[in-house]
Amino acid sequence: MPVVFIVLSVLLLIYCGSIPKDDAIFLRLVSIIILLSAVTELFFTLRRSEATVELNGRSILKALVLLAILTVYVILLKIVGFLPMTALLGIATTRYLGYRNWKNNIMISVVVTLAAYVIFSVLLKVPLPMGLLFS
């Protein structure tokens, strides 16, 4: 983890060189703090010489699948529209988290999506993307 931040700070310092000097003062300072604290953290992690973090591949995969579901949602949102996509998102997530009762799942997701639609689109007048079909 500290290594990621060290790389980040070095990239930032290079970036600082490419923008006007005045605008970069603060950014440069921040990069140096990141670099210093990441090096310190690396030093302590190495000295403790024990893995303090267990990164379990399978559990991370579960989180990443959820993120993938969300990404697909955002991409399709404009095309398919808020109502069907959001209800689907609710159903997919609830099912993926391990809830097996399809009837309840679909009912709750649809009702909550409609509630969100009424609150934001009807009451707060937010122009939710309606998709190609409904617009």
Partner 1 sequence: MANILLGFSQVFQPINILVLVCGVMIGLVVGSLPGLNDSITMAVLIPVTFGMSPQVAMCLLIGIYVSACSGGSIPAILLKIPGTASSVVTCFDGQPMTQNGKAGLALSISTYSSVFGGIMSSLVLLFFSPFLAAQALKFGPPEYFMLAIAGMSTVVGMAKKAMAKNMLVMAFGLLISCVGMSPQRGYPRLTFGNAYLLEGIPLVPMLIGLFGITSILELAETIRQGESQIESVQRVRVSPLDKSMMKRLLPTWLQSGLIGNIIGVIPGAGMIMAIYMAYDQARRANPKLKFGTGVPEGIAAPEAANNAVVASSMVPLLALGVPGNSTSALFLGALMIQGLRPGPSLYSDFPEIAYLLLVGFLIANIIMLPLMLLFCNYLAGKILLLRREILSGVVLIFCVTGAFAVSNSIFNIWIIIVFGLIGYFMNKFHLPQSPLILAVVLGSMMEKNYLQSMVLSQGSLSIFVTRPISLGLMIASILFIAAPLYKNYIRPHFITKKASVDA
By the criterion CB under 8 A, which residues form the site for partner 1? 1-2, 5, 12, 15, 19-20, 22-24, 26-27, 30-31, 33-34, 37-38, 40-41, 44, 52-53, 55-56, 59-60, 62-63, 65-67, 70-71, 73-74, 77-78, 82, 86, 89-91, 93-94, 96-100, 104-105, 108-109, 112-113, 116-117, 119-120, 123-129
Residue 86 to residue 74: CA distance in whole angstroms: 10
> Under DSSP, is residue 55 helix (H, G, I), strand (E, B) or coil?
coil
Q: List, in sequence order, the alpha helices (H) in 49-101.
A: 57-80, 82-96
The two tokens of residue 114 are 């409609």
Least distance from C-beta 124 to partner 1, angstroms?
Answer: 4
Dihedral of alpha carbons 38, 44, 49, 52, sign? negative
- Choose between 74 and 132: whose C-beta lies nearer to partner 1: 74
CB closer to partner 1, 126 vs 133: 126
Report the residue number, 7 or 62, with the smaller CB distance to partner 1.
62
What's 72's DSSP letter? H
Based on CB atoms, which residue is closest to partner 1, 74 or 133?
A: 74
Number of H helices, E strands in the chain: 6, 0
Selection from 57, 62, 5, 12 nearest residue 36 by Cα: 5
Q: What is the amino acid identity at position 113?
A: T
Least distance in Å: CB of 72 to partner 1?
11
Of 15 and 134, CB closest to partner 1:
15
